[in-house]
Structure 1
Amino acid sequence: MTDISRLLNSRGLLKKRLLRLVKLLAYALPLGLLISLIFFPLLALGAFSLSIPLSDWVILLTDHIPPYLSNTLLLVLGGGFACLVWGVSCAWLTANFNFYGRSYLSWLLILPLACPVYISGFIYSDIFSSTVPGFHGIPVASLLFGAAFYPYVYIFSLAAFKQQSMDYVWAAQTMGLSNLQIFKRISLPIALPFISFGLLLAVIEIINDFGLVNHYSINTVSLGIYRVWLGLGDFNGAVGLAIVTLIALMVIMITEAYLLSKRKRYENQSRHIPVRIKRLQPVSSMLCMLWCLLPIAIGFLVPVGFLAFHALKGDGDDGGGDRLQDLGAALVNTFTLIIAAIFIILVCAILINYSARRLSKFWQVAGQSINICYALPGTLLGFTCILFFSKVNQWLPDNWAIGGIMLLLFAYTIRFIPAANRSIHNGLVQITPSMEMATKLFALKPFTSLTKIHLPLLKGALISSCLIIFAELLKELPLVLILRPFNFETLASFTYQYASDERLGLASLPALLIIFTGIPVLYVLHRSLTAARGEKHF
């Protein structure tokens, strides 16, 4: 009897282990394949770099690459500083003080994100290049980058300042500190993690830019990969520049994460006292309003006003029937790509996070490691995708070759999946273990649990992911220019085509479509990200 019971126990144990193995394979195999597919182009880039002779590396690192890196660094420092000054100061003013137009300015300050920076660059070049010597330089480009990307810093800084409790302010006031001293010693250090993340996003966008630096002839790493590869035909030079750029971006992101990990802050949420808005005197109120209007004017009002003037005037419209037909085709192409990309990205992000949640910590870290892909410049990603699939297509039948729209959607997925991945991960973290136990109690299958329990709870995260991806894809230019099929236009490439030929009258209508399509999306996203816990005026 004992032998029989032992045999039954051993069979039961074997069955449990087999079921556990099947479960592991069911989640780990698709997860591993998805993560590998996302990283394969970067691995292919690393493999190609190993084939570059050492002598070529010496020439690249001493002569060719330093100018691109130095120009990029100068733009990052200048543009990042402008983003930091405008973003943090405007966020602090709108979060703590009541001045003329504050309720409108608090969301108008995000509008420059709707206007692609290359459009602003073309417009200001058309206005000032003939009268201002040396206009096409790094200082002007840095100013335009600051006016275009400061909303990243502003949104996260505003959320941080609104979440701070009045306890800190009252304690500082009892010590006799002024408003400026409270900002420097209390508010700014507490909000630093939020500010640094917004600044990181702005820096990534500056590095990723192609249109403005190309028009202003500033050799950055993003433009350098494109010119060295397609302009000069130097394949090794493009690979070397891409590798150095990738390493530099990884160092930046790892350093930022390490520095933030050293800063820990704990807040007693039960005693949180909402921020109380202070009323300013008329002169101070007017100065605050003018200061907040400055970046809005540079990054949005002037470009949009210029575009609207030319669109109403009809400059260059010499047979608009065919052009309107082309614009309609570009509009359809844009929204078709956006809808397809959002669907693919959301499905992949849900599978990655849902599978990783049911596996070990290793897989959860691996699932979040793909967030680094957002830092990849579009030219670098497009270059690596072409390298990777040029080798893959050699092993595929001609009818199965991957290119065109499929390649563009693949690159879109890699570039923008971090936006959905981060939101869905944060949403899943908020789902308590008791809810997970409920699915087991009712013997729900994993797919049923996902569709009936998890996805309804992730509704907010999914909507915010869709909005972020939509706003970014609407303006995406480098990937489209590199990977699009022949005679295939999106609104961004359609606008860039005419603007780069200095036909701003023809570029005005598609540019306005990009801007005014993005404004409602940005408004909804801003409201969801910066919802305050409550405000009191005194």
Structure 2
Amino acid sequence: MPLHYRFFLVASIICALLVAAPILTVFLHAMAPTELIFHLYNTLLPTYISNTILLIIGVTLGTGSIGVGTAWLVTMCRFPGRCIMEWALVLPLAAPTYVLAYAYANFLEHAGPVQELLRQMFYLKPRDYWFPEIRSLGGVIVMLTITLFPYVYLLARAAFLEQSVCVIEVSRTLGKTPVQTFMRIALPLARPAIAAGIALAVMETLADYGTVSYFGVQTFTTGVYLAIFSFGDRVAAAQLASGLLIFVIIVIFMERISRGRQRFDHTTNIYRKLPIFRLSKMKAAGALTACALPVFLGFLLPTILLIHMTTTNGHKVFGIRYITMTINSATLAGITSVLAVFISLLMAYTNRLSKDSCTILLSKLAALGYAVPSSVIAIGILIPISLFDRCVDDATRHILGLSTGLLMSGSAVSLIYAYLVRFLAVSLHTIEAGMTKITPNMDKAAQVLGNSPRSILKRVHLPMLRSSLLTATLIVFVDVMKELPATMILRPFNFNTLAVQAHNLAADERISQAATPSLTILVVGLLPVILLSWHISKSRTLCQ
């Protein structure tokens, strides 16, 4: 193998092993004995398991029905406001789930404006009526559903856009109604994409900490934090994290099983305009309502509530404290996004240079981090780093009589490492998708002209990947800005980010003050979401 090829391959191997190391550490450390896990087994573990299973079922049904239904309506049907709904249905991705939890809890709780208005209008006393409890398992399912359904919507819509026009026309020729065409033709063809979108939503559900902890719902994620911060038992935390990881593996395995050997290949690259189902006035009003309601509940209403709370009782956005936290969040997000894009570009280019089983396995290994909850990754990083700090401290005490304290634990380095492990797959998939659009003939032509692989990457690929690189950078940036579980475990002492500040204020029931950092996170998340919507609309025009 030539030296320049070997450089890219070795670098990719190192990056993939670094990504997999925290996960392997959790499994190895979970084998150690601990008494706490037996206590949890007799008390809280059954609750963890039942609540986690119910969350998976509820979010699967909710995101699947909303995501698939809205994707079919905006793709195949014509009704007033459809063009706006195409991109508006992606907006809930900009809001972290725990931000919606803070806004809705303040809005719907007993002392909130909704119940207070009901009592005033009907002259009711607190015990004269029943109102759904937002801080419950059902409330968590609703919050996660209205935030995560865009994952299913994006993939389902892309699948509907790529379906063959011929089979849809044959269905209509045979006298099938639009509903029958959807159920018997479009839905089975889009099943792999829908299953992948639901799997993403479920994995985000398993990784959630802010919402379940604030609503008081005990899951595996809250158990990990209980073992660390309340009991100080990292072995028990690793064992709970392993149980959470088993849930993730089951979800991925079930998604693969449901897909089976199904493949739907196109016989041509020429796309015809999709048939259009014209809706009557009543059906058009129903379709618009079905698309607008998730947008209103998942983005518009929480944004309005956060703006109101920020302007009335919130903290000053431009105060020194919030400027410092914004700089902290932006610095971590900026460093992580740049490193993630650099590593992803290196690995994607290695796959392009050498398309063998080794490089394919490496890319799958690097993408494993996105399927693993942040709490699991944080435990996998915290255990070896703590061991390293103790060994160095013992050595310096013995030799020099000095204590080094904590060198790596609670540092920004460990935090950025966790972010990279968690979100590297996002940038890797984005860059790989952009690289597949570059024909291999350009690489061969550059090689004939005497360019080395490094020169081809610099002079050919980088200019053509500019859009993909920018998109990957923005998406990773916003994901890091919203990240809470890993930040809570690994952040340096007295180092706050916007996400941590929002969680701490909400935990103290200072919801109005928590609205300020929450609104800041939401505003920052709008840019990549709008960019993503623009790319989707552009690709749709090309497909038709």
TM-score normalised per structure 1 = 0.89
Alignment of 1:38-57 (within 5 A): 38-52=19-33
Q: What's 2:165 paired with?
A: 166
Q: What's 1:37 paired with?
A: 18
Contact 1:90 1:154 in 2 (8 A): yes
Contact 1:40 1:388 in 2 (8 A): no
Cα displacement string for residues 173-198 of structure 1 (whole angstroms, at most 9, x for unaligned residues):
11110010000011111112221221
Residue number among 396, 409, 414 corresponding to 1:407 in the alignment: 414
Gaps of 5+ in 2: 116-130, 397-403
Contact 1:467 1:522 in 2 (8 A): no
Rounded to whole Å, the distance in 1 between the matches of 2:217 and 2:407 is 36
Q: What's 1:357 paired with?
A: 352
Q: What's 1:391 paired with?
A: 387
Rounded to whole Å, the distance in 1 between the matches of 2:293 and 2:269 is 38
Residue number among 330, 334, 340 corresponding to 1:339 in the alignment: 334
CA-CA distance at 1:240 after TM superposition: 1.2
CA-CA distance at 1:407 after TM superposition: 0.8
User: Is residue 2:82 matched to residue 1:102?
Assistant: yes
Q: What's 2:66 paired with?
A: 86
CA-CA distance at 1:296 after TM superposition: 1.6
User: Is residue 2:458 matched to residue 1:451?
Assistant: yes
CA-CA distance at 1:305 after TM superposition: 1.4
Cα displacement string for residues 71-93 of structure 1 (whole angstroms, at most 9, x for unaligned residues):
11111110221111111111111
Residue number among 91, 104, 116 corresponding to 1:111 in the alignment: 91
Rounded to whole Å, the distance in 1 between the matches of 2:527 and 2:205 is 24
CA-CA distance at 1:326 after TM superposition: 0.8
Helix, strand or coil for the counterpart of 2:319?
helix
2:71 is aligned with what amino acid?
A: A
Alignment of 1:96-495 (within 5 A): 96-130=76-110, 132=131, 134-270=133-269, 272-313=271-312, 315=313, 320=316, 324-359=319-354, 360-394=356-390, 398=404, 401-403=407-409, 404-495=411-502
Contact 2:155 2:197 in 1 (8 A): yes
Rounded to whole Å, the distance in 2 between the matches of 1:513 and 1:400 is 32
- How many corresponding residue pairs? 513
1:489 is aligned with what amino acid?
A: N
Rounded to whole Å, the distance in 2 between the matches of 1:239 and 1:44 is 9
Contact 2:19 2:365 in 1 (8 A): no
Rounded to whole Å, the distance in 2 between the matches of 1:458 and 1:271 is 24
Contact 1:214 1:223 in 2 (8 A): yes
Residues 73, 487 of structure 1: alpha-carbon distance in 2 compared, 3 angstrom cutoff: same
Rounded to whole Å, the distance in 1 between the matches of 2:406 and 2:234 is 26
TM-score normalised per structure 2 = 0.88
Rounded to whole Å, the distance in 2 between the matches of 1:190 and 1:255 is 18
Cα displacement string for residues 509-532 of structure 1 (whole angstroms, at most 9, x for unaligned residues):
222222122123201112213534
Rounded to whole Å, the distance in 1 between the matches of 2:152 and 2:464 is 28
Cα displacement string for residues 199-242 of structure 1 (whole angstroms, at most 9, x for unaligned residues):
11111111111111001111111111111222233333212111
Contact 1:213 1:220 in 2 (8 A): yes
Helix, strand or coil for the counterpart of 2:494?
coil
Residues 166, 22 of structure 1: alpha-carbon distance in 2 compared, 3 angstrom cutoff: closer
1:77 is aligned with what amino acid?
A: I
Contact 1:277 1:536 in 2 (8 A): no
User: Is residue 2:500 matched to residue 1:505?
Assistant: no
Cα displacement string for residues 14-39 of structure 1 (whole angstroms, at most 9, x for unaligned residues):
xxxxxx37556433332222211111
Contact 2:434 2:465 in 1 (8 A): yes
Gaps of 5+ in 1: 1-19
Rounded to whole Å, the distance in 2 between the matches of 1:112 and 1:265 is 30
Greater displacement, 436-445 / 214-223? 436-445
Helix, strand or coil for the counterpart of 2:176?
coil
Helix, strand or coil for the counterpart of 2:277?
strand
Helix, strand or coil for the counterpart of 1:269?
coil
CA-CA distance at 1:430 after TM superposition: 3.9
CA-CA distance at 1:59 after TM superposition: 6.8
CA-CA distance at 1:258 after TM superposition: 4.4
Residues 353, 133 of structure 1: alpha-carbon distance in 2 compared, 3 angstrom cutoff: closer
2:366 is aligned with what amino acid?
A: I
Contact 1:228 1:237 in 2 (8 A): yes
Greater displacement, 156-165 / 136-145? 156-165
Q: Percent identical across equivalent pairs? A: 27
